[in-house]
Structure 1
Amino acid sequence: MLLFNEGCGAGEQLAAESARIRALLSDMERILEGVLPETLVSEEPPLLDRWLLGNVLTPALVGLSTGHPALPGTNRPIATSQVFLMSADMSWARTLSRWYRLGRPAERSGLDA
């Protein structure tokens, strides 16, 4: 997750992550066009041997949602997709799926307050 300050230019870290995501999106679009992975690489890719598919933790938000386009209701408990951006003042967050306005943070005891 990257922090940003509203009204300020993008920092180096934000610019680098943006470039990585654009490259991924470009590869996804080429795969949809039927291009084979071996034609997408510009240099010899590393070999990953004895691999397995694992799970890694990624930052996400959990909270009470109101006005979500796909999860209707008021104060509906949800977990978001991966968080990529959060304003330094913690009033905005951008997940993989959408922007969220952030209200009050939860108490450490949970969402029942």
Structure 2
Amino acid sequence: MDDWFGMDRYDLINRLRSVADDLEAVDKERSGIIPKAVLIRNWALAQRTVPCLIGNATGHPEIGNDRPTFSSPIYYIDNERRIARTFSRWYRLGNRVDPEFWNIRARSAK
């Protein structure tokens, strides 16, 4: 996979480091002024779709075994090595199914 969220691997790594550095530093700056911050007016919290995994997790520390789950956003996936890194953890990738597999299961569960 050569492209992550519209950027190459090294740009993504640098962006994530920048986010981590900012989060670490935010408590040190108590004045409330963040340099180069963009003002957003009439704002509200919203949600958007992000790439994630759906499947039956085994060995997940909070979900249990073999329960259907959505992962947090994916930051790295390597089909050849069968591994993926989401925001919260690494996953070993088992068998891959077409997304329609889950759509059919969701419809039949209703």
Fold agreement, TM-score > 0.5? yes
Greater RCO, 1 or 2 (C-alpha within 8 Å, sep 6+): 1
SS at structure 1 position matched to 2:8: helix
Question: 8, 17, 41: which is aligned to 1:13?
Answer: 8
Against the structure 1 CA distance between its residues 91 and 34, is the aligned structure 2 distance closer, same or farther, given a 3 Å change threshold? same
Match among 68, 71, 91 for residue 63 of structure 2: 71
- Compared with structure 1, are the counterparts of its residues 34 and 46 closer, same or farther at alpha carbon in structure 2 (3 Å cutoff)? closer
Identity among equivalent positions (%) equals 27
After TM superposition, the structure 1 = structure 2 runs for residues 21-40 of structure 1, keeping only pairs within 5 Å, are 21-38=16-33, 40=34
Shift in Å at residue 51 of structure 1?
3.6
* Pairwise CA distance, 1:105: 1.2
Mapped partners of 2:31, 2:13: distance in 1? 24
TM-score, structure 1 as length reference: 0.70
What root-mean-square deviation, in Å, do the aligned CA atoms of Structure 1 and Structure 2 show? Answer: 2.5
- 2:89 is the counterpart of 1:94: no
Cα separation, 2, equivalents of 1:93 and 1:32: 31
Unaligned runs of 5+ in 1: 5-11
* Letter of the 1:79 counterpart: F
Match of 1:80 in 2: 71
Structure 2: gaps spanning 5 or more residues: 106-110
